[in-house]
Structure formats: C-alpha cells, structure tokens
Amino acid sequence: NDVEQLNALCSVCRTCDRLVEWREDVAEHKRASFAGEPYWGRPVPSYGDPMARLVIVGLAPAANGGNRTGRMFTGDRAGDWIYAALYRAGFAANETVSTAGDGQTLRGVRMIAPVRCAPPANKPAPDEKAACSGWFEREIALLPHLESMLALGGIAWHTTLAAAARMGWDVPRPRPKFGHGAVARLRTPEGRTVRLVGCYHVSQRNTFTGLLTREMLDDVMALAAAPASG
C-alpha cells in the first residue's frame, strides 16, 4: 500500500550527509558486538498498523536500537517500556521485543520518527529535522483513520505541531506547551480533529529516575487511545 511504498522509498534516503555517515559508521564499528545478527544502519521505517487511529511520535532511532534492528524502538530499553505499555493497552501482540524477527505485531497503532536516521548524541540538527519532516508529513497524510498522536518528549511535541502547521492543519495559537498529559486539538483541512497528547519520553533518564513511571505511561496511553469526541 501507499504507506509501505513510502517507507520503502525512505529506507534508501541519503539526504543528510552527517547522519548517513554516522549511521553507517556505527553499523561498521558495532556490527562485531552483535555477531550473528544483521545490522540495519539505514533510515528506520515507521512500524505498525497502516490503518492506525493512534500514532506514537518518537524523536529519532537510537544508535544501537532501531539503527541496529531496523525496527522502531526495538533493541533498547526505551523500546521495552513502550512495547510493554502498548501490550497492556491491547495494541501489541507481545509484551516484549527482542529483534525484528520476534513476531510482534501492532493493531491500531503506528510508530513514526520525525527523524529517521540515528543522530550522534541523539540530537538531530535543525537542518536534519527539516529535511526529514517531508517523510513525516507525507506519512501522516496517508493515515485515513488517524485520531490521536502521542508525542514522546517535548521535541516530538513541537515537531508534530510544526509539521501540522506546514500541512495546513489548524493549530491553536499560541502554540500549546508540552507537558506530560497535555492535550492539543488540531484540525485537518478536511475538518477532522486529531488530538496531540504529550508524554515524557521513555528514555532511561526518565524511567530510571522515576520522572516517568509505568502508571503514568499507562494513564497517558489511555488518554491518547480514548475515542475522539469531535
């Protein structure tokens, strides 16, 4: 389908020189640590249900997570948290993930990264975010049943608002502030409402320190999954 075609095109993108060099360098030097497993080292496609009502917006793949396995949030601790929460909410077939060949499937949910190549220090540069936003916007426009988006962290929140504005969506002014459990209502040109829900990122910095607990993640996932009310 169109979404899969888009992701196939994206998987060979080489627009950002710095990120192409980094993702391939990491693959070259870390491959030996994961002997026997294929190492992706390319743009990480979106993952999940093309008919999704809910989209999880991350930031960018982790160097040895998605960049290694080729599947979003797969192969690192942040991913363990998000897949477990999706399982508890009834969206994922399995509670745990190991590699891209673990039989996991998502129903009603799709994961999309606004930046699809792993950046050094997990920090994409402004021009890299701008370059990749085209992929993000094209994919969002291809999801006919989209009702809500769960933004993991402030960067995902602001990136999504900026992308929505560029796509001609009605975005509240002043721009809504990010917070855990914050909700912004966006309106597409066709008149559909899409809710943007904020969630602290599932990074170890937040989960180890208790800034984000399992209960907080479940609560905000339920908020994002609630049926649209207009």
**Token pair for 56:** 């999880």
Min dist CB 68 to ligand SF4, Å, is 16
**Token pair for 108:** 């009603």
CA distance 70 to 89: 24
- Binding segment toward ligand SF4, per CB under 6 A, in 73-81, 127-135, 148-156, 175-183: 127-135
Q: Is the CB of 3 or the CB of 16 nearer to ligand SF4?
A: 16
Residue 84 Cα to chain centre, angstroms: 15
Three-state DSSP class for residue 29: helix
- Closest to 109 (Cα-Cα) out of 193, 222, 225, 226: 225
Site mask for ligand SF4 (CB under 6 A), range 83-122, x = bound? --------------------------------xxx-----
Q: Is the CB of 45 or the CB of 176 nearer to ligand SF4?
A: 45
By CB under 6 A, tell whether 155 contacts ligand SF4: no
CA distance 154 to 138: 22
Judged by the rule CB under 6 A, the positions of this chain that interact with ligand SF4 are 10, 13-16, 19-20, 43, 115-117, 128, 131-132, 135
